[in-house]
Structure 1
Amino acid sequence: MSATLAFAEPTYDLAGLETLAMASSRSVLAARDQITAARHALDSAAAFPNPELEYLSGTARGRNPGAATGDARSLALTQPLDMPWRRTARIGSAEAGLEATTATVRAFEADLLARLRSRYFEVLRREAEVKNAREDVALVESVRSRIALRVETGDAARFELIKADAELLNAQKTAQAAGFRVEQARSQLRQAVGNALPAEFALTGRLGQVPEVPPLASLSQQVGQMSPDLVRARAETVRAQRQLDLERAQRWPSVALKASIDEDPDVRASKLGVVVSIPLWDRRRGPVGEAAAQLARARNELAAQEFSLGQTLEVAYQQYEIAEAMVTALESGIVKQAESALKVAEAAYRFGERGFLDVLDAQRVYRAARAELIAARYELATAWVDIERLRATPGGTKE
């Protein structure tokens, strides 16, 4: 018993896979390092300028008779002043940059989670397909065995056995291909999660387990407030505005306080004054114009992003509603009716009331209905993934 438990496959649900990916993915950790860098950039923007110390030493020689000769030294200290209009704009630009970087990382994480969720449901889809394919093989084998018995007793033509063998080979081929697709989907899921997910694992969810989504009006409000793409676009607009304010503030003269001491063999002079730059030739027309153009670009991109996200959300929500209606119709009637028709055809064939071709037709209808149900459930899950990507729902949480 203990040996069996020791080699049991670890099981994961969707929330567990999301938590595992967020904690171990190197790409996520690398993206989060950008936020650390942006925080340090904010520290740099808030730092005050360092003072400048100047020391000169030389020799003084008198040019007139009797003038003193000896060492000459000077010491000067200059402290640039960080003017409020520049400091405020510079810090504001760095703060907006931090917000934009944080939103960029959130968008990256949302894309990773969307890819992970899509591949998670892909595995569930492929597992459901291989389960149905194996059931189809068992079903065809049972029918084939009955046909073989009837052929041996002379109650059925050998043509029916040949047809049943061909149908069995086709079902076995479909089951084998479905098994390969399961392995491929599992590999893609492990690639999305990372090396922390072992090669052998099991999933506890089912394809039909898709959380409900809020109404479209509520979703639109949430996306408008929480979408990392919109948050990033707004932050970029704010940063462009602060950069324009900073470039305009650069037009004003820069001011620095300066204190100096000059010594020569006869005199020691102490001085205190102000150093002012005169913006005479460079009025910063180029940087100001460039910052204004960047601000206009950021505003246009924000408007385009708002419109694009709104349309994308509507399409995803409509797809969710369509898939939900298809799943309801298939689950409530179509699949059950196809299964009942198959049972009736099999019973009629056993009593000789119908031929083998009628059974095959009923089996094909039943398999097609089950395949449509799996596809509809997967489309429903895919639409949910698209909506959650726009909402940027954090990983490792359950709705």
Structure 2
Amino acid sequence: MTHQRLSSLIFLTAALQIGAVTTRSQAVEPAGTSTYQLGTIIEMALARNPVVSSAEGDIEHQRGQQTAAGAYPNPTVMGNAGYGEIRDTGRADIRDSLNRESIFEYNFILGQPVEWPAMRSARKRVADAGLATANAGMSETRLNLAAQVKVAFYDLLLAQQDAALAQQNLEIVEGVGRIVKARVKSGEAPQFELIKAEVEILKAKQLLVRAENVVRVNRVIVDTFTGGGLGTSYVVQGDFLNMPRELRIDALMAKMVQEHPTIRRLLQSVEQSDWRIEFERQSRVPNVTVNGSYWREIGREAVQGGLSIPVPVWYRRQGEIAASLGTKRREEAELLRARNELARAVHQHYQDARTTAELIDVFDKGLLKQAQEALRLAQFSFQQGASSLLEVFDAQRVQRQIQMDYAQVRYELSVSLARLERAVGGAL
């Protein structure tokens, strides 16, 4: 009867272990918690993350600069008024006649600055390039944020799978512990076997506590990207990525050069620097102010017009032109550096993805099945009394480690592909 009970418990343990073999283990969802997929989390992050709001503020700022660049200078209006009388005339009769009247004098002067057309055009082109730079910066911000959310999502997904495996491992160890306890109680095994089983149970509980703590930490990280939109009690649902077919490095490099928002932003910055240099050069031509005036004085009424032209004799904006040339040189260097960094990142993440995909093939083609078969044989030998409890636990640890290694390489492939998308500048 004891042998039958032992066989039943061993069969139950094997069934629990087979459930742990699944290559896409999911964390047990607590009751009442929300479940989110990757696409939903990315949408929430793009809608709520403050870095997106900052990029939107930069776009609004550049739109304001564009409006200011296209505005015409305001005119200047001056006026003077007051009472006056003639004191220096030689004819007493005229002076006495004028002194008997109150004479009111006034004048108005209107000045309208007229900009040099080439300077005005260059200033508007500077503002247009600035707005294009801000728009490219928004695309860059969204790309970087989406990549960060994907990596954080896969971190949490791996942590959930680790916690699920730890929970299953604890259940299996507790099942074996019950078997050992029954054998010790019936006298079929020494008391020391029960002590070893209890130690293994304690280790399994510690692993579960650590795994659950990692889940909580990664859950907070993902929630931070969404601006607190997920809350503190939720789970993520999804799977790791597979290696895309026909992924070629030359096509990825071409896509990076042509479409990456960082490259587009820096190209627009260089163009903006070009137009800023042109603006400073055209600013050497002074603006003309057209003046018109009306004068009403004692014995005199006049309408006048004129021009006011600053003469650039001592200074012709040499400092501003030199500063603009230096800015352009810095922007060109930043563009070259970004291209080199992105090219290096594309090659690195592409090779990482290929190497990790080859490791996944090794797991899929036999390593997972071999580990499961080794555990099954160890359990069968333990059932027949041919192997010790320690050998069963060793086989179980090896099998669980292989499961975690398999989840780890799938996680690394997903992270490499997410970072490759970030380096390329879009979906693969």
| TM-score for the superposition, normalised by structure 1 | 0.90
Q: Which residue of 1 aligns with 2:28?
A: none
Give the match's secondary structure for 1:53. Answer: strand
User: Aligned partner of 1:25: which letter?
Assistant: N
Cross-structure match for 2:57: 33
How many angstroms apart in 2 are the aligned matches of 1:331 and 1:65?
A: 120
Mark the runs of 5 or more structure 1 residues left unpaired by the alignment.
Answer: 1-6
**Which residue in 2 is equivalent to 1:222?**
255
Q: d(CA) in 2 for partners of 1:316 and 1:256? A: 60
Task: State how far apart, in whole Å, the 2-side matches of 1:352 and 1:199 are.
Answer: 48
Looking at structure 1, the residues matched to 423 and 82 of structure 2 have their Cα atoms a distance apart, in angstroms, of 70
- For residue 123 of structure 1, what is the amino acid of its counterpart? L
Structure 1 distance, partners of 2:386, 2:358, is: 37
Larger mean CA deviation between 197-206 and 233-242 belongs to 197-206
**What residue number does 1:182 align with?**
215
Q: What is the alpha-carbon distance in structure 2 between the residues aligned to residue 59 and residue 289 of structure 1?
A: 54
Would the alpha carbon gap of residues 300 and 25 (structure 1) be closer, same or farther in structure 2, given more than 3 Å must change?
closer
2:315 match: 282
Match of 2:390 in 1: 357
Aligned mates of 1:65, 1:324 — CA distance in 2: 111
The residue type equivalent to 1:212 in the other structure is: P
**Which residue of 226, 237, 256 maps to 2:270?**
237
In the alignment, the residues of structure 2 paired with residue 268 and residue 215 of structure 1 have an alpha-carbon distance, to the nearest angstrom, of 84
Conservation of the 8 A alpha-carbon contact between 2:242 and 2:414: yes
- Between the aligned partners of 2:189 and 2:171, the Cα distance in structure 1 is 21
Whether 1:97 aligns to 2:130 is yes
2:362 counterpart residue number: 329
Per-residue deviation, residues 246-302 of structure 1 (Å, max 9, x unmatched): 111111122222222222122222222322221111111111111111111111111
C-alpha distance in 2 between matches for 1:267 and 1:221: 77
Partner of 1:152: 185
Aligned residues: 388
Aligned partners of 2:286 and 2:222: how far apart in 1? Answer: 59
- Cα distance in 2 for partners of 1:330, 1:65 equals 119
1:46 and 2:70 aligned: yes
- For the 8 Å contact 1:106–1:392, the answer to whether it is kept is no
| Paired residue type of 1:20 | M
2:230 is the counterpart of 1:212: no
Distance 1:60 1:281 in 2: 42
Distance of 1:103 and 1:273 partners within structure 2: 47
Q: Match for 2:228 among 176, 195, 219? A: 195
Whole-Å separation in 2 of the counterparts to 1:201 and 1:162: 38
Displacement, 1:43? 0.6
2:46 maps to 1:22: yes
* Aligned mates of 1:132, 1:318 — CA distance in 2: 30
Write the letter of the residue equivalent to 1:247. E
Query: Do the aligned partners of residues 185 and 154 (structure 1) sit closer, same or farther apart at CA in structure 2, a change above 3 Å counting?
Result: same
| Residue 319 of structure 1: aligned partner | 352
Report whether the alignment pairs 1:108 with 2:141: yes
Aligned-residue offset at 1:242: 1.0
1:59 and 1:390 map into 2 onto residues whose CA distance is 77
Q: Deviations over 1:4-56 (max 9, x none)?
A: xxx85333211111112222334423431221121111011011111111212
Matched position secondary structure for 2:229: coil
For residue 59 of structure 1, report the CA deviation from its aligned partner: 4.4
| d(CA) in 2 for partners of 1:375, 1:224 | 32
**What residue in structure 1 maps to residue 37 of structure 2?**
13
Aligned partners of 2:171 and 2:268: how far apart in 1?
60
TM-superposed CA distance for 1:133, in Å, is 0.8
Tell whether the 8 Å contact from 1:259 to 1:271 is kept in structure 2 after alignment.
yes
Counterparts of 1:346 and 1:370 in 2: how far apart (Å)?
18
Q: Which moved more, 1:37-46 or 1:149-158?
A: 149-158
1:383 shift after superposition? 1.1
Q: 1:168: Cα distance to partner? A: 1.7
Question: Any gaps of 5 or more consecutive residues in structure 2?
Answer: 1-30
In structure 2, how many angstroms separate the alpha carbons of the residues matched to 1:298 and 1:184? 39
TM-aligned CA deviation for residue 128 of structure 1: 0.4
Question: What corresponds to 1:4 in structure 2?
Answer: none
Q: What is the CA distance between 1:211 and its match in structure 2?
A: 7.1
CA distance in 2, matches of 1:102, 1:345: 62
Alignment partner, residue 89 of structure 2:
64
When Rg is computed on C-alpha atoms for both structures, the one with the higher figure is 2
The CA distance in 1 between the partners of 2:260 and 2:313, in whole Å, is 46
Alignment of 1:155-174 (within 5 A): 155-174=188-207
Paired with 2:183 and 2:230, the residues of 1 have a C-alpha distance of 52
